[in-house]
Structure 1
């Protein structure tokens, strides 16, 4: 899938929800601050919204720690206390996730991990723009390494009969950006690009977040969840449940998109500007 095809797919998703208004990812070539450039664009009456392309990452990656890399060998893993404490035996007697597809938007998944054998769908890599969404990086060096596989493993433990759709959106340090998240969310709800077919995720997991609220992410999540939407995709699927990280730092700092109701921030590490025409 080329960058042009990915951008066209996102355009089509927005047109299906908002009509003929296109959305653009725009590079800054004059060295101006992204916040200033976005403000300049918003003064144009033809622009619905314009905002910096904020970075997003895993909460652990933001703190520079790899808290999921624990547990010892396979024997130690099998005797951990979490499955019993969470009541998985009783839960699995009622539902094991059969018929459910769960998209994991993260830094990739190890396709050769034995705990995930037979559970992974093909997926896509939006970082390198190819169809191999395996994790990249070096264990012990890159803070993000292993996070996506860890999340997929938790899902496989909780819903052993569900299918997992791996979608790589973060680099080895666990960092991505809002535009890539929007592309990947569009992909997760409609992998084959045909809205009338029901091949998308039932649940979309974002164990990541940004400290800045964005209109683009809010709109694409509304699209995924079929919020007041009756297009072909929603008629076929009914929408997906989107689960996002509220933060693992033990503090009250809002993280988006989980904290959509919180106030908008002021500072940002930005790389580009996103704009939508009226």
Structure 2
């Protein structure tokens, strides 16, 4: 039996799945963020290795036949190659491949079929596989240049709304108390130093609170959710013209912001299904580590 490991290394956390060569998942583990940044390959590799080892321990083995890691930030060199070499040097698998987080999500959501993958976690991006097999990508430029509609983008907008409400530039909002409570601080004044000293992933985690407040009827939170949905829909719409056929194009959804029943997911679905030519939203939420496992199976064989 060949042991396979698939890892989704994001900006908020890393998730590892261990499977056999029938792709039956044997173990899972979650750990520290493994997204790779310039000059930070060591931190990324350590997070990925720790998460992978803990998952392997559950299967009573310390080495896999193949390991595939989809890492945020791995779409550029030399970061991708440096991370791959670090993982190879660790001796944790016979074969190692590092690719992007969006590629493993695309494989998990669509297999080899044409369609669009829309990803909204800490960051945001979309990728299309055309009928020819060609890949096209939009977004994924990072929080400094984009990530519109992402968890970080939504939470950042909510923090800005709280700041504006506190000094009279904006209306009062239930976001003030809800975000302070979620961050574990006393009042909006303490949110500023908290946000300055916490990780981008921790800020992005506040997107869950924004959606909860929106669902309870807060107008400002509802507006922020609607804006996030519009931004994400724009990613998918930018890829639609690459499909010449007028038939509905399948769209798979991945990332914590697009979980089942979430307000952002509901809004994105309504927007895209009303489009002409049509886009067809797939019901299941994609689990990116499963795509990494499928790629690991190909790597092992």
Q: Please give the range of the TM-score, normalised by the shorter of the 2 chains.
A: under 0.3
Higher relative contact order (CA 8 A, sep 6+): 1
Relative to the length of structure 2, the TM-score reads 0.25
Going by fraction, where is strand more abundant, 1 or 2? 2
Going by fraction, where is helix more abundant, 1 or 2? 2
